[in-house]
Chain A
């Protein structure tokens, strides 16, 4: 697992997978092939 430990919570790294699959809409949308864009907004 790629985790960076902090006192309060382990922070997860991006892994290309969708972690939200419990609610029906989320489960459905987790199957969509997605791409990722990342921006620093300042």
Chain B
């Protein structure tokens, strides 16, 4: 403890979304102008290679210009990744707790933090349950059958979707 940073690591399909796309979302999603008060909670792009580093530098400059700020006012670091360690399973996929039986099932299938984090099923369910109506519920309805959930859990998720959709 003491020398690590709490971070999110995103495994993505580069044919669908680019690193630059993710950088753009990153700049919009954090307080880039506030001081880093600790190593544990610092704001940073952790780069895995020189290509990522260069893209991060360009995106930082573009963001500062867009916001009318000098680079000095952007407190977010651009740093190399040392190594990434997965948090425990109970730290993963927070929004899955809204469908507690599904979460218990997924944790029984994938009992470690890494396995649960790596699961596309867990990731998508977590996203839908967390983002709510901002995501395409019809796509979830369409694709849910392929997730491999037990029938009764699939039914619960569909009922949850239906109740949320009706509130739109």
Contact = CB atoms under 8 A, between A and B. Distances in A.
Given A11-B88, A20-B118, A41 B109 contact: no
Contact of B31 (A2, A23, A29, A42): A42
Most buried by A among B43, B110, B116, B120: B120
A39 B88 contact: no
A37 B9 contact: yes
Interface in A1-27: 2, 4, 8-9, 11-14, 18-20, 22-26
B121 A41 contact: no
A41 B122 contact: no
A4 to B, nearest CB: 6
A23 B85 contact: no
A11 B13 contact: no
Interface of A: 2, 4, 8-9, 11-14, 18-20, 22-26, 29-30, 32-42
Given A29-B120, A40-B45, 11 more contacts: A2-B83, A12-B113, A14-B84, A19-B118, A36-B11, A38-B7, A39-B22, A39-B26, A39-B44, A41-B29, A42-B43
